[in-house]
Chain A
């Protein structure tokens, strides 16, 4: 990133190649495909725009996924307002196509995992995807999301429990209790 800030155009290409799939999956697991594409563009264009103001204080990943988190949050807000305003919307355009309940016999475990991730509450899903894609520590994830480490741990714990229960049908003591909604 520092090289890109200094005018190395190829540095951006290298950055993009290194992180684009991670940011894409991070957005894709939380939004429909078209919205995820918008988000992906927003994330990287914001990085381009803010290049001159970038200060290498911490890890680049924290910076990048903070942009990503904010972009997804903005997209969710926009879609909420849009849903309230538009009455003739085709349902398929706004419903997350990943969240349909899979047929356990005919879908792979990975597909069931993806489907289950889509059905998680927003904050838990965000924590899980950050953990899966960003490579950040819990404290860094807390910083990205504007939360604290204990809250992130809690979200992850409940989320992973639920995911495992959905995918493998394994019930754990925690999964039987009420899961706090951290939206």
Chain B
């Protein structure tokens, strides 16, 4: 007679099932599944190999990166005065610290896990490595290494923040960014008109995102308002700014803002005018996106809120908007990525941002006429690519964390 189950020897563990295909099976299903498949593999394989070969040979062998090397400061900071560059490092360190602290507060029980960290931050790390490899002196490399160490330390410190205090950390991030900005502009001759390069691009992008988002939400609510005057005004604004190109809006902002202010007053500087143009343009697109989200909130939510006695404002703020905004995160972040890329258009109103730098350095006397456009444009494209790719990956992480599309 067999023993009771509790007294039997446990069964030996079964070896884990092999998931996925063996290499041979993978090749059979993905590359040589039919005569047409073989033909496509051969043709595309040859084409891809040729493209990769030319690209690698260009990047590592035949390109003259000297033009980027010598002008790296121009690319990063524009015509910022050299002797005040220490302010940039301090401001950058402040921003890195507060962001790392916030990352630390959100890291939960995961201590320093190299693979997870690498998967999350590899675009930024790639960017840092490329910039460090293009630097001509040791100082930028040391600075970048120091910032990386500072980030890791701040992340560890963030994990020590008590749980009750963690709700204030986003405020700390905002304070850190503003403090960094003040550190930079408080020097002599370091105002916005001297900013340029990647710094100006980041300023326009971050400022544009921060201001256009609330404005867009207000416009979307206005468009759905039951008051005809408010709705008509919102519709007119949205349709006007969605129907014209961004270049036109920037052009309008740079030329016409001065016309609309009182005759003897000083118009704001060109960077602020460009920011106003970007904000007004993006707010219209955000309004349309948020309007789609507002339409997707079930009516029952609003009715239940009213049944519970919530006023209209409270209903919108606490019930409708959270659900609406969460459902349109992909589209909204897509619009922010577009804004980041569209900061390149301020080159058409002569702002000295990253793309303009890339175009201008090829006209320097040392490099004139050598056809080095590919090098500078590829570097600028790489910087934009890192930013946009990192933002889209962060958006995917945010969506999965908030359960977009599943709830």
Do chains A and B stick together as partners?
Answer: no
Chain A residues near B (Cβ < 8 Å):
none
Chain B residues near A (Cβ < 8 Å):
none
